[in-house]
């Protein structure tokens, strides 16, 4: 098996520090949005308008927080472990989580994309005239999602996901796919994904707060 330990210790420590400062933030966010959802779902807090919309936004923020924490945990394992196969396992899981996370957010095909979380839980909500001030930001984020997909979510990446999830093909193919992982490219993919999902969480939170501040009964 190839040696996946390609980064000097000082770079690992720097990246781990950057991730570590945000992990607690996203753990807290995950707990907070879940608790908020429960308040609206159980009618402890009610709105004069947008009750379904705010629940959709909170569901989306919940997923984004989980996805962010999964990706950062994969990166942490890769950077911290001293065992080479554990590094391979972290990179395998990172491939799966990046592919599945993006598919859930925006998907790859037009027919399924219209049912994605980004469309159903953000874009359709922002079609409302009362929320039109967010359209410029959401349109920009749509372009970023498309750009991210074009750069990283190619057929080879999706094929690797199928191999790693379903052990598709022969065991030799699984081993070869592990050996052929481009570590630098995969970690760049993860970094850009974390940055993009952070931006999406920010706009989802901003829309949620706008509805909560203006339409609580």
If you write DSSP's letter for every residue of 60-79 in order, what string do you get?
A: HHHHHHHHHHHHHHHHHHHH
Give the whole-angstrom CA distance, residue 91 versus residue 103.
18
User: What is the helix (H) or strand (E) element at residue 163, kind and residue range?
Assistant: helix 155-166
- Residues with Cβ within 8 Å of 205's Cβ and at least 6 positions away in sequence, in order, are 61
Supply the pLDDT for residue 41.
95
Give the whole-angstrom CA distance, residue 198 versus residue 196.
5
Q: Is the pTM of this model over 0.85?
A: yes
Supply the pLDDT for residue 95.
98
Kindly provide the b/e burial profile for residues 177-199, where b requires at least 16 CB atoms within 10 angstroms of the residue's own CB: bbeebebeebbebbebbbebbee
Please, is 88 exposed, middle or buried when counting C-beta atoms within 10 Å of its C-beta (0-12, 13-18, 19+)?
Answer: buried
Supply the pLDDT for residue 170.
87
Supply the pLDDT for residue 61.
98
Supply the pLDDT for residue 179.
95
SS3 of residue 47 by DSSP: strand
- Residue 39 has a CB neighbour count (10 Å cut-off) of 12
Supply the pLDDT for residue 197.
97
* Successive 10-residue mean pLDDT values, the chain, 217 residues: 92 90 95 97 94 97 98 96 96 98 94 94 95 96 97 95 91 94 96 97 97 90
Supply the pLDDT for residue 18.
86
- Residues with Cβ within 8 Å of 96's Cβ and at least 6 positions away in sequence, in order, are 161, 164, 165
């Amino acid at each position: 098996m190839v040696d996946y330990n390609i980064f000097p210790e000082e770079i690992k420590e720097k990246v781990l520090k950057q991730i570590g400062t945000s992990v607690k933030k996203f753990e807290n966010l995950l707990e907070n949005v879940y608790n908020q959802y429960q308040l609206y779902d159980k009618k402890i807090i009610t709105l004069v308008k947008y009750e379904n919309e705010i629940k959709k936004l909170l569901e989306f923020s919940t997923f984004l927080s989980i996805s962010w924490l999964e990706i950062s945990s994969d990166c942490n394992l890769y950077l911290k472990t001293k065992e080479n196969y554990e590094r391979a396992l972290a990179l395998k899981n990172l491939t799966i989580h990046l592919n599945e996370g993006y598919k859930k957010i925006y998907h790859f095909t037009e027919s399924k994309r219209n049912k994605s979380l980004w469309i159903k839980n953000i874009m359709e909500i922002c079609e409302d005239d009362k929320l039109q001030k967010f359209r410029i930001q959401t349109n920009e984020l749509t372009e970023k999602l498309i750009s991210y997909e074009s750069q990283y979510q190619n057929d080879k990446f999706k094929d690797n996901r199928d191999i790693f999830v379903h052990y598709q093909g022969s065991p030799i193919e699984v081993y070869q796919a592990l050996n052929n992982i481009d570590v630098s490219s995969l970690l760049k993919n993860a970094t850009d994904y974390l940055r993009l999902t952070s931006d999406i969480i920010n706009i989802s939170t901003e829309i949620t707060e706008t509805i909560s501040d203006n339409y609580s009964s």
